[in-house]
A and B are shown apart, each in its own frame.
Chain A
Amino acid sequence: AQSVTQPDIHITVSEGASLELRCNYSYGATPYLFWYVQSPGQGLQLLLKYFSGDTLVQGIKGFEAEFKRSQSSFNLRKPSVHWSDAAEYFCAVGIGGSQGNLIFGKGTKLSVKP
């Protein structure tokens, strides 16, 4: 069955430090992969997506993610975290005939220390 695993429930990093949020998926075919961010009281905002082509994708707010088929991973990275990046981050895989049928991971909450 298709699934998405985000092994880290909560991560705390210092402002200015680098960040990597892990995501592993289980899906038989080539997946569509997404990272969303949710700030408190807000909806889900798309950070970046991978459909095909270059396995390193750039997103908004300085985020990037790398698709590694051999590891079934799509980790999210940012070289220098800002206090405003504190939020919950969700990895998702698109399945089925519609790109809108997404399976989400449980999310990783990011806290940023000053």
Chain B
Amino acid sequence: EPEVTQTPSHQVTQMGQEVILRCVPISNHLYFYWYRQILGQKVEFLVSFYNNEISEKSEIFDDQFSVERPDGSNFTLKIRSTKLEDSAMYFCASSGYTGELFFGEGSRLTVL
């Protein structure tokens, strides 16, 4: 069964460092998303991406965040200068025309 894969599963970084989280969506999907879940809190929408551009983003997705699809298969989330409050589980998701989102297992980011 096709699945969304995310790497790394866990990353520890120092505050102020840049982090890139990687996702390989399901191959025939066209819509891509990033969500995050701070420990003990709700899963929150960050951004959606379609046709090589951002289609929607939340207030959380400020200038420190960026996404790109560099090579037609990977979908990355970059955090330019991490803050303590960026510590969270980050979920990538993709969807096709049915609209059903398929989520990856998540990348846990710990900022020290």
A→B interface (CB under 8 Å): 32, 36, 41-46, 49, 51, 90, 92, 96-107
Contact = CB atoms under 8 A, between A and B. Distances in A.
Given A92-B43, A100-B101, A107-B42, 10 more contacts: A44-B103, A46-B101, A97-B56, A98-B31, A100-B45, A101-B58, A105-B42, A106-B41, A106-B42, A107-B43
Contacts of A43: 4, 91, 103-106
B95 interface: yes
B68 to A, nearest CB: 18
A101 B93 CA distance: 11
A99 B48 CA distance: 10
Nearest to A44: B103
Interface residues of B, number: 25
B25 to A, nearest CB: 12
Contacts of A46: 100-102
Nearest to B43: A104
Contacts of A36: 103
A51 B99 CA distance: 10
B109 to A, nearest CB: 16
Q: Which of A45, A102, A103 has the most CB of B within 10 A?
A: A102
A24 to B, nearest CB: 14
